[in-house]
């Protein structure tokens, strides 16, 4: 197995996707922000000065997915067909869970777009809640599934 973004001399490079088949590509990623029970209550009651944590984090994640190639140096700019970011409250965490899905038709996958969306949505939650809880944790940012690539579909076991 070799890394796709490293040439024979060990230098970073953008992968040439010109010969790949154009297919529908999808990816789903998740993340979560764990917080104190007091901070969770403030989020659930929409009692934070900055506003609706869930709505802002969903917008931030969507915006981030569209700018992934500007943030991750070797990502290809792609035309996303759809991005869906959902922030849900989870009292058992306690905190906010993020699920981000991306879809495009093209020669390269959208895993980085889904992961970027989930990561930035978590960061937006962190930014909005940090004044109420200095001990916030962003946890479990990971890819759950992807479809449409040359290596076939993939789904995280137990995810």
Residue-wise pLDDT for 65-116, tens only, equals: 999 999 998 899 999 999 999 999 999 999 999 999 999 999 888 999 999 9
Region 3-18 average pLDDT: 72
pLDDT for residue 2: 62
Q: What is residue 48's DSSP assignment?
A: S
| CA distance linking residue 60 with residue 120, whole number of Å | 6
Q: State the catalytic residues.
A: 127
Give strand pairing partners of 23.
106
pTM, rounded to two decimals: 0.91
| CA distance linking residue 68 with residue 15, whole number of Å | 16
């Amino acid at each position: 197995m070799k890394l796709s973004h490293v040439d024979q001399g060990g230098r970073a490079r953008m992968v040439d996707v010109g010969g790949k088949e154009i297919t529908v590509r999808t990816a789903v990623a998740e993340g979560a922000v764990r917080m104190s029970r007091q901070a969770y209550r403030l989020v659930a009651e929409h009692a934070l000065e900055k506003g609706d944590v869930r709505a802002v984090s969903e917008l931030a994640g969507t915006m981030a997915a569209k700018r992934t190639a500007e943030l991750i140096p070797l990502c290809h700019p792609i035309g996303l067909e759809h991005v869906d970011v959902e922030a849900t409250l989870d009292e058992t965490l306690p905190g906010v869970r993020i699920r981000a899905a991306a879809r495009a038709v093209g020669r390269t996958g959208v895993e980085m777009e889904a992961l970027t969306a989930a990561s930035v949505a978590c960061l937006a939650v962190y930014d909005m809640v940090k004044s109420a809880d200095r001990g916030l944790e962003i946890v479990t940012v990971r890819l759950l599934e992807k479809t449409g690539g040359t290596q076939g579909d993939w789904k995280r076991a137990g995810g």
